[in-house]
């Protein structure tokens, strides 16, 4: 198995090692230092990593991703540093480990589940990417996607004008109300440009679901892109800009709820990191679309007709394992999905799609992504279901590409689209009239 390698252009870029070291040291709090120095070198994390699972390459042992940050830390704090003998982090160290930090880590957090010390390797990788980006390293296509987010509004070039055009087209095509820039709304719904540009029926599905439930909601041209490639690339200024746009849009419209669409890292960043990145509390709640739909179901506002087709569900890592929403999806299935078949393992222990954390956007990582998808294929086939549903457009795109690569005959679907296809509008109207 060949390891993803940097292009000649990547290798020719100058590397600012001092900038990387400064980032590492600034982020090494006492808690983080405990993580860095607590590894037992037991290797259990390797068995939990999808990249190690499909390659058997010891370089993909998650614990090895601690080494660059650990080396920067020990060079300044170990006893050897007091006499000037501690090894220094070098350009060679950074270049040699770049693919471990970017190409073969989706920050899925599965390794932490089995770590006897509970080391949050995903968080360390996120910090490491900030250091590598500061040094001038990182896959060029991922960095370009982050820059496009800042300059054009989204990583796929979904500008405010294109968003308006796309929403107008979808509203006309499906004879559906899709509000944009409503002056006052209770809920601000965001988009992933993957959905808008590649899976537009997902936008239609969310609009149908919220309209069915009678929600006062809107999209905003001031802040719409939830996918935060600044965070994924390690470019902190861009990460902050993307968060500020959504926060400002919510405050402008008076929304007390920001709903993240089918995108895993978008949910994790906005729900758990945004307030810390902005340095202030968010004056609104953040919910993933699956959580919000579960809330509507509990309130009796989401009426569904039974789904009889057999299907299984892929748990996106940032929504289920790291986001805590695995149970909400099962609640949506309860009383609705008559032939839902769980994978093994499932829920918080499910295997990653292989494209999270920005890996999907890295062309040089395509080969290893496809190999990881074999795990998902085996999981699905073991259930006997022919349809695989997920609630993350990045997972969907990753799996769609690998499905085409292997000519896998199973169907891939979106959770919101499945739910929208089974809305019981007649039942909702009848209940409202009572």
In a domain, 50, yes or no: yes
In a domain, 304, yes or no: no
Same domain, 133 and 149: no
Query: Do 123 and 215 fall within a single domain?
Result: no
- Rounded to whole angstroms, the Cα distance separating 199 from 396 reads 9
Residue 66, domain CATH: 1.10.1060.10
Residues 6+ apart with CB under 8 A from 122: 105, 107, 108, 109, 111, 112, 322
pLDDT (0 to 100) of residue 190: 98
pLDDT of residue 426: 67
Task: Say whether pLDDT at 3 is over 60.
Answer: no
Query: Domain residues for 84?
Result: 8-138
Rounded Cα gap, residues 57 and 194, in angstroms:
31
The verdict on residue 426 lying in a domain is no
Q: Which two tokens stand for residue 265?
A: 């890292």
In the chain, the number of structural domains is 3
Beta bridge partners of 388: 312, 412
Please, what is the average pLDDT of the chain? 94
pLDDT at residue 362 tops 60: yes
Q: Give the integer Cα–Cα distance in Å for 215 and 420.
A: 15
**Helices 17-27 and 91-101: crossing angle, nearest 10°?**
60
Do 180 and 294 reside in the same domain of the chain? yes
CA angle 133, 227, 256 (to 5 degrees): 125
Instruction: Average the pLDDT over 332-336 and give the result.
Output: 97
140 has pLDDT over 80:
yes
69 close to 36: Cβ distance less than 8 angstroms: yes
Q: CB under 8 Å to 32, separation ≥6 — which residues?
A: 69, 123, 124, 127
**pLDDT tens-digit profile of 199-213?**
999 999 999 999 999
Q: 10-69, pLDDT tens digit by residue?
A: 556 789 999 999 999 999 988 899 999 999 999 999 999 999 999 999 999 999 999 999
Q: Are residues 107 and 182 in the same domain?
A: no
Same domain, 132 and 146: no
The mean pLDDT value for 296-324 works out to 97
Examine the domain organization and report whether 151 and 292 are in the same domain.
yes
Cα separations (Å) of 136 from 13, 15, 91, 118, 277?
A: 7, 5, 11, 31, 22
The 10s digit of each residue's pLDDT in 220-231 is 999 999 999 999
End-to-end CA, the chain:
64
Mean pLDDT of 363-367: 97
Give the three-class secondary structure for 188: strand
**How many CB atoms are closer than 10 A to CB 155?**
29
Instruction: Give residue 76's pLDDT.
Output: 83
Same domain, 262 and 182: yes
- 257-260: strand order across its sheet: 217-218, 187-189, 257-260, 285-288
Q: What percent of the chain has pLDDT over 70?
A: 94
In a domain, 434, yes or no: no
Mean pLDDT of 68-96: 86
- Residue ending a domain, choose from 138, 158, 180: 138
pTM summary value: 0.93
Residues 330 and 373 reside in one and the same domain: yes
Q: Does residue 322 sit in the same domain as residue 291?
A: no
The CA distance from 260 to 194, in Å, is: 13
Instruction: Please name the helix (run of DSSP H) or strand (run of DSSP E) that holds residue 82, with its range, or none.
Output: helix 79-82
Residue 219 clears pLDDT 80, i.e. is over it: yes
């Amino acid at each position: 198995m060949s390891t993803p390698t940097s292009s000649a252009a990547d290798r020719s870029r100058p590397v600012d090692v001092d900038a990387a070291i400064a980032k590492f040291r600034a982020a090494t709090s006492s808690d983080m230092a405990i993580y860095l120095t607590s590894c037992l070198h037991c290797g259990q994390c390797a068995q939990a990593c999808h990249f190690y699972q499909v390659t058997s390459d010891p370089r993909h042992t998650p614990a090895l991703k601690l080494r660059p940050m650990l080396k920067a830390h020990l060079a300044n704090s170990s006893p050897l540093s007091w006499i000037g003998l501690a090894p220094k982090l070098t350009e060679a160290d950074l270049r040699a480990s770049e693919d471990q930090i970017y190409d073969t880590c989706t920050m899925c957090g599965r390794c932490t589940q089995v770590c006897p010390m509970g080391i949050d390797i995903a968080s360390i990788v996120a910090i490491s990417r900030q250091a590598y980006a500061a040094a001038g390293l990182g896959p060029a296509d991922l960095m370009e996607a982050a820059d496009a987010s800042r300059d054009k509004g989204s990583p796929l070039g979904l500008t405010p004008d294109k968003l308006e055009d796309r929403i107008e087209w979808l509203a006309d095509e499906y004879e559906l109300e899709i509000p944009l820039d409503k002056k006052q709304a209770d809920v601000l719904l965001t988009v992933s440009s993957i959905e808008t540009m590649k899976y537009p029926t997902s936008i239609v599905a969310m609009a149908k679901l919220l309209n069915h439930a009678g929600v006062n909601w809107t999209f905003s041209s001031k802040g719409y892109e939830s996918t935060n490639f600044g965070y994924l690339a390690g470019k902190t200024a861009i990460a902050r800009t993307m968060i500020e746009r959504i926060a400002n849009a919510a405050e402008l419209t008076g929304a007390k709820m920001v709903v993240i669409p089918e995108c895993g890292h978008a949910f994790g960043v906005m729900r758990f990191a945004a307030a810390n990145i902005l340095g202030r509390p968010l004056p609104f709640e953040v919910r993933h679309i699956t959580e919000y739909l579960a809330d509507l179901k509990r309130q009796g506002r989401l009426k569904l007709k039974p789904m009889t087709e057999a299907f299984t569900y892929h748990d996106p890592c940032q929504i289920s394992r790291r986001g805590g929403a695995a149970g909400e999806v099962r609640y949506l299935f309860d009383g609705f999905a008559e032939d839902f078949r769980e994978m093994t393992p499932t829920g918080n222990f499910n295997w990653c799609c292989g494209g999270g954390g920005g890996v999907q956007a890295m062309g040089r990582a395509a080969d290893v992504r496809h190999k990881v998808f074999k795990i998902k294929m085996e999981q699905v086939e073991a259930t006997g279901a022919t349809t695989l549903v997920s609630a993350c457009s990045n997972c969907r795109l990753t799996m769609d590409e690998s499905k085409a690569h292997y000519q896998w005959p199973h169907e891939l679907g979106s959770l919101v689209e499945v739910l929208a296809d089974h809305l019981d509008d007649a039942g909702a109207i009848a209940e409202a009239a009572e």
